[in-house]
Amino acid sequence: MKPQIVPDLLAPHLREPLEVGPVYAEEFGEIKEGELVAAGSGRCYAVKNFIPRFVEDDSYTASFGEQWNRYRRTQIDRFNGTHLSKDRFYSGTGWTPEELAGQRVLEVGCGAGRFTQILLDAGAEAWSLDYSAAVDACWENHGPHPRLQVFKGDLYALPFRQEFFDKVFCYGVLQATPHPERAFMSLIPFLKPGGKIAMDIYHKTGWTDRWRSKYYYRWLTKRIPHNALRRMVEWYVPRWLPIDDFCQRLPILRRIVPVLVPCWNYRGLLPLTDQQIREWAILDTFDALSPRYDFPQSLSEVRSWFERAVLKNIDVRPGGNGIMGNATR
């Protein structure tokens, strides 16, 4: 953690200024191990492995820490040799690298840093936060970096000053929170007037396909211990993929089989090698079956959030992993 950012932080819930407490180790000009102390109450927050930890456990996000620390490089463009994350980021947000350069961006739900790389490459200052232990994967992938700050914290109680960020970016997160609308609303106060927000969320529909079949199984799979479920997915997905590939060549089976056996097979959809197809299938199948919460939304519901937040230039549309939303405060 960079000591110079401490004046820009506030103790979550308490909203008290923070001070640097005991420092046990420094490296790269940053605090590697130490404490932050709330000036009024004396409440302490650990800095561990360069990351301020404003929550002590992973709570409902534990499955994400499990997957991103095990597959921390899978979806990072510079490691997988694609530009899939870059393309998704810019097509979804409508932002440009020139627009991002020099801007302070709050990235909520950074995971292993799939989109953190895009922000840093554009010259933005990335303030990347996740509730889960995925923050360690993000740091391993991208830190140390002069324009990167990583935080372990709760999006319902962010440790920042209000109206502090030029942009807020939140992909792959809101549906996995206990109250998606409240989670969305909690982000708005931290955006500067005139600042932009980009989010996405799963789309609630009336039909079933490969990607929505998970809802038949999640009542059970989300109750299985995460490491046991991960091992189960790692065992059956590579064995099932060749069968799934065969079924995709037959019109009737193409529709039925993916609903019966959950397997996120991107063959023919993404420019990935055979090994990457297997790894992405394992990762995203686990990602679909393991989270405690999964609350898709309708277009009208998401649009109403933006309207109640009194945002401008609202653009809510199908896209990405379901619904994409962009607006200006």
Query: Do 176 and 294 form a contact (C-beta atoms < 8 A)?
Result: yes
Residue 101, Cβ density class (10 Å: 0-12 exposed, 13-18 middle, ≥19 buried): exposed
- What is the distance of C-alpha 214 from the center of its chain? 19
- DSSP H helices in 25-152: 62-70, 77-80, 84-93, 97-100, 116-121, 134-142
As given in the structure block, the two tokens for residue 16 are: 């008290």
As given in the structure block, the two tokens for residue 264 are: 């996120």
Give backbone dihedrals phi and psi of 273, rounded to 5 degrees, phi first. -75, 170
pLDDT at 255: 86
As given in the structure block, the two tokens for residue 214 are: 């998970």
Nearest to 306 by CA among 296, 314, 298: 314
What separation, in Å, do the N-terminal and C-terminal C-alpha atoms of the chain show? 29
How far apart CA 35 and CA 52 sit, in angstroms, is 8
The owner of tokens 């001070």 is 19
How far apart CA 319 and CA 91 sit, in angstroms, is 10
pLDDT at 161: 97
Q: How many helices (H) and strands (E) does the chain have?
A: 12, 11
* 286 residue type, one letter: F
- In this prediction, the residues of the chain whose per-residue pLDDT falls under 50 are none
How much of the chain, in percent, has pLDDT values that exceed 70? 100
Query: Domains of the chain (ranges plus CATH)?
Result: 1-53 (no CATH), 56-203+298-328 (3.40.50.150), 213-289 (no CATH)
Mapped onto helix, strand or coil, the DSSP state of residue 116 is helix
How far apart CA 163 and CA 29 sit, in angstroms, is 28
pLDDT at 302: 98
Question: pTM value?
Answer: 0.96
pLDDT at 123: 98
- What is the distance of C-alpha 215 from the center of its chain? 21
As given in the structure block, the two tokens for residue 60 are: 């409902």
Query: Do 45 and 53 form a contact (C-beta atoms < 8 A)?
Result: yes
258-288 burial string, b = 16+ CB within 10 Å, else e?
beebbbbbeeeeeebeeebbbbbbbbbbbbb
Nearest to 88 by CA among 264, 258, 270: 270
Query: Do 289 and 215 form a contact (C-beta atoms < 8 A)?
Result: no
pLDDT at 25: 98
pLDDT at 314: 98
The owner of tokens 């927000």 is 197
pLDDT at 252: 86
Ordered strands of the 44-48 beta sheet: 18-27, 30-38, 44-48, 51-53, 148-152, 125-130, 104-108, 165-170, 191-201, 322-328, 312-319
pLDDT at 208: 84
How many Cα atoms sit within 13 Å of 327 on the Cβ side? 25
